[in-house]
């Protein structure tokens, strides 16, 4: 009953096998390996973007931070949801790698930016002022930090507002596979056709050992990304081990199959919680993350019985009155089973 995070799950066996196969002989370093050529071609095919630039890095944090740095100047503002991952979980990495760009936080229900709130933020200031941070870019998180999913139409509405001010758009897709499976959209419709300029295409949360792709749909911006990746210390010398993971991830659409199981288990968990007499959902469950409320005494019972999940927000103590309601965050992964879910629901 492990629901702490999809990052706590193991790597998929085919990924481990791919790493072992890559660990033979001599191959070019720093991305000059032939496996990366296959990855690049496959990503372009998946996204129907034959000119896209494709790069691999080891973490979602650096994928986001370098993407923002490539498209936003140090004096720019990055407009994102108040609970976007780049705001709540990156320890200032976006500000550091951009050289000081400011995150401007936009409100909206269920983790999604409200288009009119974004429009209002972009309209202020009306004219450029040297004393103020300038408009830089927009960043969207999909799946959101509350487990909800933007549709391509919702993304297009936000990018349309950004385009009114000639601003580029970044999509934080640490759980991009889960968003694709949940929405039924094509990767192209979710990204460049909806107005996205640069994507952080996650893998680590969905069965990889540790690799994320950055997809830049305008190749004219690619060279700057390469320089920033190297200068920031994130160009892997034995790059073949990143390439091998990503090739296995994309082969036979494994990436979508793994996300499909995670989403299905998230849905099963959410349905069971909604049907229980002791708990209630906090947000809609669109993908693999479930947020719910139930009394502290049941939290203690569940965790004593071996259930692993996060009390959310994380500052809620387990000590206190049994009847007081605390909220929780539970995340399903590619390796979550029906047995895991049903055992937990039986505890509730």
Structure-token pair, residue 160: 């349309």
CA atoms of 102 and 92, how far apart (whole Å):
10
Q: Place 124 in a pLDDT band, splitting at 50, 70 and 90.
A: confident
CA atoms of 67 and 52, how far apart (whole Å):
14
**pLDDT per residue over 199-221, tens digit each?**
999 999 999 999 999 999 999 99
Contact between 322 and 297 under an 8 Å Cβ cutoff? The reply is yes
* pTM of the complete model: 0.96
Alpha helices in 76-114 (DSSP H): 85-88, 93-98
**pLDDT per residue over 136-174, tens digit each?**
999 999 999 999 999 999 999 999 999 999 999 999 999
pLDDT exceeds cutoff 80 at 126: no
The CATH topology of domain 11-254 is: 3.40.640
**pLDDT per residue over 169-210, tens digit each?**
999 999 999 999 999 999 999 999 999 999 999 999 999 999
pLDDT exceeds cutoff 90 at 62: yes
Can you give the pLDDT at residue 315?
Answer: 77
pLDDT exceeds cutoff 90 at 317: no
Can you give the pLDDT at residue 258?
Answer: 98
- What three-state secondary structure class fits 203? coil
Q: What is the mean pLDDT of residues 66-81?
A: 98
Can you give the pLDDT at residue 89?
Answer: 94
Structure-token pair, residue 336: 């979550």
Sequence spans of domains, the chain: 11-254, 259-347
Instruction: Give the CATH class of 259-347.
Output: alpha beta
């Amino acid at each position: 009953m492990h629901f702490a995070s999809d990052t706590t799950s193991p790597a998929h066996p085919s990924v481990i096998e791919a790493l072992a196969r890559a660990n033979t002989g001599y191959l070019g370093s720093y991305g000059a390996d032939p496996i990366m050529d296959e990855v690049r071609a496959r990503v372009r095919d998946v996204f129907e973007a034959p000119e896209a630039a494709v790069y691999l890095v080891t973490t979602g944090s650096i994928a986001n931070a370098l993407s923002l740095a490539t498209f936003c100047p140090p004096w720019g503002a990055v407009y994102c949801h108040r609970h976007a991952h780049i705001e709540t979980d990156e320890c200032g990495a976006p500000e550091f790698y951009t050289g000081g760009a400011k995150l401007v936080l936009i409100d909206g229900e269920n983790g999604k930016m409200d288009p009119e709130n974004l429009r209002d933020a972009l309209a202020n200031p009306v004219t450029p002022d040297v004393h103020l941070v300038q408009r830089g870019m927009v960043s969207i998180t999909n799946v959101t930090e509350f487990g909800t999913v933007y549709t391509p139409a919702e993304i297009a509405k936000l990018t349309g507002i950004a385009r009114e001010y000639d601003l580029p758009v970044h999509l934080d897709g640490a759980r991009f596979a889960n968003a694709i499976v949940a929405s039924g959209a094509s990767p192209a419709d979710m990204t460049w056709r909806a107005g996205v300029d640069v994507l952080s295409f996650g893998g680590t949360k969905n069965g990889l050992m540790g690799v994320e792709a950055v997809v830049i749909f305008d190749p004219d911006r690619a060279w700057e990304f390469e320089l920033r990746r190297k200068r920031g210390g994130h160009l892997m010398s034995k790059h073949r081990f990143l390439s091998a993971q990503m090739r296995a991830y994309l082969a036979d659409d494994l990436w979508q199959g793994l996300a499909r199981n995670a989403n299905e288990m998230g849905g099963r968990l959410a349905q069971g919680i909604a049907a229980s007499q002791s708990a209630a959902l906090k947000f809609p469950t669109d993908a693999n993350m479930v947020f719910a409320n139930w009394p502290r005494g049941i939290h203690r019972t569940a965790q004593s019985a071996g259930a692993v999940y996060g009390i959310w927000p994380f500052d809620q103590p387990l000590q206190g009155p049994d009847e007081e309601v605390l909220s929780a965050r539970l995340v399903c992964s590619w390796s979550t089973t029906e047995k895991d879910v049903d055992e937990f629901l039986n505890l509730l």
